[in-house]
Amino acid sequence: MKISTAEPSLVVLSRSPPPSLCSFFSSPNSFDVTFPALACSILSLDAMDISGEQHLDVRHDIIKKRIDANGNVIEARQDGIGAPKIEKPLQRHGGRLEHNETYCGSCYGAETSDDHCCNSCEEVRDAYRRKGWGLSNPDMIDQCKREGFLQRIKDEEGEGCNVYGFLEVNKVAGNFHFAPGKSFQQSNVHIHDLLSFQKDSYNISHKINRLAFGEYFPGVLNPLDGVHWTQKTPSGMYQYFIKVVPTVYTDINGHAIQSNQFSVTEHYRDAEFTYPQFLPGVFFFYDLSPIKVTFTEEHVSFLHFLTNVCAIVGGIFTVSGIVDSFIYHGQRVIKKKSEIGKFS
C-alpha cells in the first residue's frame, strides 16, 4: 500500500528494484540509500511538508538490508515485518499469560483507552511516541526485554543498512529524512527518541545509489545518483536542498511521461555548533519550481532533411574549392621561385 496524501501528489524517489524483490513493488518509483555505519534496527524514515502532513517512521513499501562492514548482505526484509515472538509475556493486569488467555500487554502509562493493549516492544514505543514521550530504558519494558530490543541493537553494532522503497508526498515544499530513533511531536517540535539506543554519537556516512523524482525518461540526469559522503566528525546533520522542476517528455508516438528533474545544493551541520536543535541524520528538503520543462520527440521533415543535405553538399564544395585554390596558388608560387633561381 502506498502512503497516499491529498491530491495532487508528487511521486518521489525513483529506482527499479532488484528482480528478486519485484513482488514488493507496484510502481518502479523508489529510493536507494546505503548507510555503511548505521544499523537497520535504529534507522527510520519520516516525511513531512508545509501543508501539515506528517508520516512518521514510514514502513510501507520500504525494504531494509542489513549489511556487514564489507558491504555483504546479511538479511533483507520488508520494514516492520519479522518481529520476534515472545512466550508467556506479562499481562496488563500484572500476571503472566496463561493457557487460552488472550494477551493484552501494558503500555506503561501510554494507553489511550481502557482496552488499549501493547503486545510488542514496537507497540509500546508507538504508544510513547503518540504521547510525545521518550523511552529512556527499554529493559524496564517487559515486551522490549523479552524481545531482546537492546541486545539486538548490540548484536548489530558495526553493521550498515541499505534502505530502499518508494514514497508519495503532497505537491508542496517539504522534506523526508533518514535518522536514528523513533520520531514524535512534542510542543510542535519534531523529536527523535535516541535515549533508548544508549549511544553518544551516530555515523551518518551514506551513499545515494539512486534518487529521482518521478518516472524515468530518455536523457534524464539525476545529480545525486552515486553520490557518496563520509562523516569526519563524531556526529552531524547532512542536508540536501533540492529544487524540483516538473517535466513532460513526449516520445515519437505521442506518449507523454509526467516526471521531474531537479538541481541540488548540499550543507553539513556539525553537532558541536547546532546543539540543542541538532538531530543526526540525512535530510532531503525539496521545493517545486514554478516553471515546467517540456521535451518532445519529432520526426525531421523531408524539407528539413533536404535543406541539411544541400548545406552539407555546399559545404563540401566550398571546402574543396578552398583546398584546390590553396594548392593551385601554392604550386604557382613554388614554380615562379624555381624559375627565378634558374635564370639568376
In b/e form, how buried is each residue of 81-119, taking b as 16+ CB within 10 angstroms? eeeeebeebbbbeeeebeeeeeebbbbbebeeeeeebbb
Distance from the Cα of residue 128 to its chain's centroid: 27
Cα–Cα distance, 54 to 64 (Å, whole number): 21
Residue 307, SS3 per DSSP: helix
pLDDT band at 334 (very low <50, low <70, confident <90, very high): confident
User: What's the mean pLDDT in 105-116?
Assistant: 85
User: What's the mean pLDDT in 255-276?
Assistant: 82
Residue 294: how many other CB atoms lie within 10 Å: 10
User: Half-sphere exposure of 240 toward its Cβ, with a 13 Å CA cutoff?
Assistant: 24
User: What's the mean pLDDT in 13-19?
Assistant: 36
Report which of 74, 79, 68, 70 is spatially closest to residue 31, judged by C-alpha positions: 79
Mean pLDDT taken over the chain = 79
Task: Please tell me the predicted confidence (pLDDT) of residue 9.
Answer: 40
Task: Please tell me the predicted confidence (pLDDT) of residue 56.
Answer: 82
Cα–Cα distance, 329 to 325 (Å, whole number): 6
pLDDT band at 316 (very low <50, low <70, confident <90, very high): very high
Cα–Cα distance, 262 to 70 (Å, whole number): 32
What percent of the chain is modeled with pLDDT above 90? 25
Report the chain's C-alpha Rg in angstroms. 31
Say if CB 160 and CB 65 are below 8 A apart.
Answer: no
Domain extent listing, the chain: 25-296, 301-343
Characterize the bridge pairing of strands 256-270 and 227-229. unpaired
What percent of the chain is modeled with pLDDT above 70? 76
Cα–Cα distance, 43 to 199 (Å, whole number): 13
Characterize the bridge pairing of strands 281-288 and 236-250. parallel
Task: Please tell me the predicted confidence (pLDDT) of residue 343.
Answer: 55
User: What's the mean pLDDT in 6-22?
Assistant: 37
> Is the preceding omega at residue 276 within 30 degrees of 0, hence cis?
yes
Q: Of residues 274 and 328, which shows the higher confidence score?
A: 328
User: Half-sphere exposure of 12 toward its Cβ, with a 13 Å CA cutoff?
Assistant: 27
Q: Which residue has the cell 514488493?
A: 24
Helix (H) / strand (E) containing 1: none
Residue 135: how many other CB atoms lie within 10 Å: 23
Say if CB 296 and CB 252 are below 8 A apart.
Answer: no
Q: Which residue has the cell 528494484?
A: 17
Cα–Cα distance, 324 to 136 (Å, whole number): 89
- Structure confidence by residue, pLDDT tens digits, 36-88: 999 888 888 999 989 888 888 888 888 999 999 888 888 887 765 445 555 66
Task: Please tell me the predicted confidence (pLDDT) of residue 27.
Answer: 34
Distances (CA, A) of 281 to 31, 111, 177, 207, 313: 16, 30, 7, 13, 61
User: What's the mean pLDDT in 104-112?
Assistant: 85
- Structure confidence by residue, pLDDT tens digits, 234-255: 778 899 999 999 999 998 888 9
Task: Please tell me the predicted confidence (pLDDT) of residue 17.
Answer: 36
pLDDT band at 15 (very low <50, low <70, confident <90, very high): very low
Compute the Cα dihedral for 270, 274, 275, 281 and give only its sign: negative
- Structure confidence by residue, pLDDT tens digits, 144-170: 888 777 778 788 888 999 999 888 888
Whole-structure pTM value: 0.70
Report which of 240, 257, 261 is spatially closest to residue 249, judged by C-alpha positions: 257
